[in-house]
A = this chain, B = another copy of it.
Amino acid sequence: MPSKNAYGADNQQERLDWWIVGFVDGEGTFSISFNRNSTTKFGYQIFPEFVITQGEKSVAVLKTIQKKFKCGKVYINRRKDNHKEDLYRFTVRSQKDLKKIIIPFFAKNKLKTAKAKDFDKFVQVLEMMSSREHLNQIGFAKIKKIAETMNRKQSRILRDYTLDPDRLGKI
């Protein structure tokens, strides 16, 4: 629906929404990682996550985003690496929140960078997990292949947790 009042709450909300899309195009990550977990069928747990990282000086925007989405958590990441200030991560890990809140938001308000392709792949993996395809070997292998074509950051995560061929068979 069109805004009832261009200076009112609806307009403010739309501005924030588009600001968030731009910010996520810059700083957001749709990540599919594989965490070692010997209790799972293939030795790894598939771990979808939406993340935005900022330095301490800009932690306020992460809280604004958390308040807007009404989900997710803000964690401090004290590994300083080359950074002078602590890093903060806004992260949504709940598959329910990803499916009910995050995915519909970015399905409506489309990303403009190549990150849009990562988002599409993220949606595809979440859908496969919802229909429990990750529990069979073909589905698990397909998710692995999708994750490998996602951006460098995700690929690195996947490479760090290379699959255990004894558990997984040929995929």
Residues of A within 8 A of B (CB): 2-3, 5-7, 14-16, 18-27, 54-55, 57-58, 60-61, 64, 83-84, 112-115, 152
Select one of B21, B55, B152 contacting A84, CB under 8 A: B152
Instruction: Give min CB distance, A64 to chain B, whole Å.
Output: 7
Instruction: Give min CB distance, A95 to chain B, whole Å.
Output: 26
A27 contacts across to B, CB distance below 8 A: 25-27
Instruction: Give min CB distance, A144 to chain B, whole Å.
Output: 19
Select one of B2, B6, B61 contacting A112, CB under 8 A: B61
Q: How far is the CA of A64 from the CA of B25 in the complex (A)?
A: 14
Smallest CB gap from A19: residue in B: B22
Q: How far is the CA of A57 from the CA of B152 in the complex (A)?
A: 12
- 10 A-B contacts, Cβ less than 8 Å apart? A2-B6, A14-B15, A14-B18, A15-B18, A18-B19, A19-B25, A22-B26, A24-B26, A57-B113, A61-B112
A21 contacts across to B, CB distance below 8 A: 19, 22
Q: How far is the CA of A113 from the CA of B61 in the complex (A)?
A: 6
Whether A25 contacts B25 by the Cβ 8 Å rule is: no
Whether B58 contacts A113 by the Cβ 8 Å rule is: yes
Q: How far is the CA of A121 from the CA of B7 in the complex (A)?
A: 29
Instruction: Give min CB distance, A91 to chain B, whole Å.
Output: 16
Q: How far is the CA of A25 from the CA of B16 in the complex (A)?
A: 13
Smallest CB gap from A84: residue in B: B152
Q: How far is the CA of A14 from the CA of B6 in the complex (A)?
A: 11
Select one of B14, B20, B57, B58 contacting A22, CB under 8 A: B20
Smallest CB gap from A21: residue in B: B19
Smallest CB gap from A113: residue in B: B58
